[in-house]
Structure formats: structure tokens, C-alpha cells
């Protein structure tokens, strides 16, 4: 009988506790649902605001990510507080959790700091073609922790911001023009002056190649089977690769027309007569 009475007491206490916490629980759920809706609405408004303004795309994506995460953290604090957790306890819990998370996520914090440095010092921006961490591509998006590159083959490469801010990055769009250096080998019997004149004329005929600074051709070296010429010219970034491939193709055509040989590796094999082998 006593055991049955104890069970009834426990059930009554559980019911009383449920009735006590139920209003806070319902209110916390309402705050969570309404808060998520408000966050979605604010994110949409922020996105529309940036679309109307001509801000840097990298800054836009970074701030949108940061605002979204900050709002969710605030919502989490409101929900926990509504459930009855005291502010002092919550602060202590957040501090302890922050320390533990900070130790566990040192790499993520480094990536966040790297993203801030990228936005402050602007080594590159959205749309720039860069080379970093062994990957070449166009900067598609800079988020809080990662930078996304669209590679030449239309793949998406994701690189942590910490690595980008602490290692070498080549930005091919930092300057409006680029210099190309095309190397071509000609035979030792070919006329060097004629070959150089042909390459310079190709540059003169191409409207995408800048006339100032003027294109130049040098003898770059004397190889085992060729005289190596180096053609250097400047072009704007937007038409650089078109000029590059045009010069290579046109050089081959005009060299063939002028009878200038472009050597290729050859191997000469001498056979030993069978009689000589027996002796």
C-alpha cells in the first residue's frame, strides 16, 4: 500500500511539473517557429538590399552568412531562456561551451579570421581568376569559412579561408593586362631573323595584342636540337587566352610557309650487320 502511495505521489509530482513547464515549452516552440520565420524574412530583406546596392560580391556573401548565423544564435538564447534557464547560468554555460568549442574548432576560427582578413585587405574579389593551394579558378563566392572557386573545367573547388590568408595566392586579374611568354624552337639551319620577324608580324596583325609595350622576341637558349625563341607580348585580361592560342597556331602556319623547321625529338638507330655480330 505504501509503495502504491509513493507511485501516486511521483505521478502527481510529474503531472505538476509538466503543467508547470508546459506553458514555457509551448512558448519556446512558438518563439522558435516565429524566430525562424523572422530570420528567413530578414535574410531575404538583406539579400534584396545588397542586390539594390553595388557592393563587392565577396562582402555581400560574407555579411549574409554572418548575419544569418548571428540571428540564429540570438534565437537559440531566447529559446533556452524561455525554458527557464537563468541568465547567469546561461552565460556560464555559453562561456564553457565557447571555450570547448574554441579548442575543438581552432581550424574553423582560423578560417573565420582568414575570411575577415580577405575582406579587409582584398587580395582578390568575386570574379577574379586566382591560383591558390594548387587550384586555378574564378572566385565564385567568399563565405565566412570557405572560398569557392569555379575551375576551368566548371567544377567547384572549396578552399578554407585560413589557408588562403596564410599562403601564396596569385591573382591574375589584379592588373588590367598580362604578359605572355611563348617559347618556340627552330632548327639550327633556319634563319633566326626571319623567324623573329614572322613572330613580331603575327603580333602586329592581332588587334588583341597591345602595341605598347611593344612585343619582343629573344633567343632564349641553344638546345640539343633547336634554337629556342621566346616571344613576349602584352594583352588585356579579357582577351589574353584568345591572343595566346592565336599566336601559337599562326606561328606554326607561317613557319611552314616560310620553310622554317620546328624540330621534334628524334632517335637514330644504327643496325649492326649479322656477320659483324658473329665475329
Has residue 262 got a pLDDT over 50? yes
pLDDT above 80 (res 236) = yes
pLDDT in the model for residue 103: 47
Q: What is the DSSP string of the chain?
A: -HHHHHHHHHHHHHHHHHHHHHHHHHHHHHHHHHHHHHHHHHHHHHHHHHHHTT--HHHHHHHHHHHHHHHHHHHHHHHHHHTT--HHHHHHHHHHHHHHHHHHTHHHHHHHHHHHHHHHH-S--TT-EEEETTEEEEEEEE-SSEEEEEETTSPEEEEEHHHHHHS-EEETTSSSEEEEEEEEEE-TTS-HHHHHHHHHHHHHH-TTB-SSSPPEEEEEEE-SS-EEEEEEEEEEGGGHHHHHHHHHHHHHHHHHHHT----------PPPPHHHHH-
Mean pLDDT calculated for residue range 37-64:
74
Reported pTM: 0.57
Confidence grade of residue 123 (pLDDT, cut at 50, 70, 90): confident
- CATH numbers and ranges of domains, the chain: 2-104 (1.10.287.1260), 115-171 (2.30.30.60), 177-258 (3.30.70.100)
Comparing 48-57, 158-167, 196-205, the range with the smallest average pLDDT is: 48-57
| pLDDT > 90? residue 218 | yes
Residue 179: pLDDT over 60: yes
In percent, how much of the chain has pLDDT > 70? 75
Question: At residue 203, does pLDDT exceed 90?
Answer: yes
Check residue 94 and give its pLDDT.
62
Q: What is the pLDDT of residue 17?
A: 58
Per-residue confidence (pLDDT) for residue 119, from 0 to 100: 78
Q: What is the pLDDT of residue 134?
A: 87
Between 38 and 54, whose confidence is greater?
38
Q: 64-102: per-residue pLDDT in tens?
A: 777 887 888 788 877 777 776 665 555 666 666 655 555
pLDDT at 185: 94
Amino acid at each position: 500500500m505504501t509503495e502504491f502511495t509513493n507511485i501516486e505521489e511521483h505521478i502527481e509530482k510529474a503531472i505538476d511539473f509538466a503543467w508547470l513547464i508546459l506553458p514555457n515549452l509551448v512558448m519556446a516552440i512558438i518563439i522558435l517557429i516565429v524566430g525562424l520565420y523572422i530570420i528567413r524574412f530578414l535574410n531575404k530583406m538583406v539579400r534584396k538590399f545588397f542586390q539594390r546596392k553595388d557592393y563587392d560580391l565577396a562582402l555581400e556573401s560574407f555579411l549574409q552568412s554572418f548575419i544569418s548565423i548571428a540571428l540564429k544564435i540570438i534565437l537559440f538564447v531566447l529559446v533556452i531562456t524561455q525554458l527557464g534557464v537563468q541568465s547567469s547560468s546561461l552565460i556560464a554555460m555559453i562561456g564553457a561551451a565557447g571555450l570547448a568549442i574554441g579548442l575543438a574548432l581552432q581550424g574553423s576560427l582560423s578560417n573565420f579570421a582568414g575570411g575577415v582578413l580577405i575582406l579587409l585587405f582584398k587580395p582578390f574579389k568575386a570574379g577574379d581568376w586566382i591560383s591558390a593551394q594548387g587550384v586555378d579558378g574564378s572566385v565564385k563566392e567568399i563565405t565566412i569559412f570557405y572560398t569557392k572557386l569555379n575551375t576551368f573545367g566548371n567544377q567547384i573547388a572549396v578552399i578554407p579561408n585560413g589557408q588562403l590568408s596564410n599562403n601564396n595566392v596569385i591573382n591574375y586579374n589584379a592588373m588590367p593586362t598580362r604578359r605572355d611568354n611563348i617559347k618556340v624552337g627552330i632548327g639550327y639551319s633556319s634563319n633566326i631573323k626571319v623567324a623573329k620577324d614572322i613572330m613580331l608580324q603575327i603580333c602586329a596583325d592581332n588587334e588583341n595584342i597591345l602595341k605598347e609595350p611593344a612585343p619582343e622576341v629573344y633567343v632564349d637558349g641553344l638546345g640539343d636540337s633547336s634554337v629556342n625563341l621566346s616571344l613576349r607580348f602584352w594583352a588585356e585580361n579579357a582577351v589574353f587566352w584568345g591572343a595566346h592560342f592565336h599566336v601559337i597556331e599562326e606561328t606554326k602556319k607561317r613557319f611552314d610557309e616560310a620553310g622554317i623547321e620546328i624540330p621534334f625529338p628524334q632517335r637514330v638507330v644504327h643496325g649492326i650487320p649479322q656477320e659483324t655480330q658473329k665475329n
